[in-house]
Amino acid sequence: MAYVPSSILHDGRLYVVDDGGIATCYAAADGKVLWQQRLGDKFSASIVLIGDKLYLSSESGTTHVLQAGPTFKKLATNRLPGGQMATPAVSGDRLLIRTNNKLYCVGASRK
């Protein structure tokens, strides 16, 4: 289990990333491991869920985007310069990501 990052429960599944970079999905009803994958790096930020996508941000500034579900599926990996310790924040259709020296806003442009 994770020591620093908080886990997230969605659709009967518990998603966890431990401090050492191992992501695991458990069936909440019985604790059965549905999948487990080493992402590498170290993690302090908690998992963020937007729709059916999980955002896991590592201390090196890499964000892994996973499909929430009973099988492991990585959708994207994005890297920002500077380390990242804080959990990203969601504001409407935007994701706010704070690295050690900058604040990034990711999302669709507004007209």
Residue 1: the pLDDT is: 67
Q: List the one residue out of 77, 81, 74, 70 whose CA is nearest residue 104.
A: 81
Longest dimension (CA), the chain: 47
Residue 108: the pLDDT is: 73
Tell whether domain 8-81 is in CATH 2.40.128.630. yes
Report the alpha-carbon distance of residue 62 to residue 79 in Å, rounded: 4
pTM of the model: 0.91
- Spell out the domain ranges in the chain: 8-81
Contacts of residue 12, Cβ cutoff 8 Å, sequence gap at least 6: 27, 28, 29
Mean pLDDT of 71-95: 91
Q: Among 6-20, 63-77, 91-105, which stretch is predicted with the lowest mean pLDDT?
A: 91-105
Under the banding of pLDDT at 50, 70 and 90, the label for residue 44 is very high
Is the confidence at residue 110, as pLDDT, over 70? no
Report the alpha-carbon distance of residue 64 to residue 16 in Å, rounded: 13
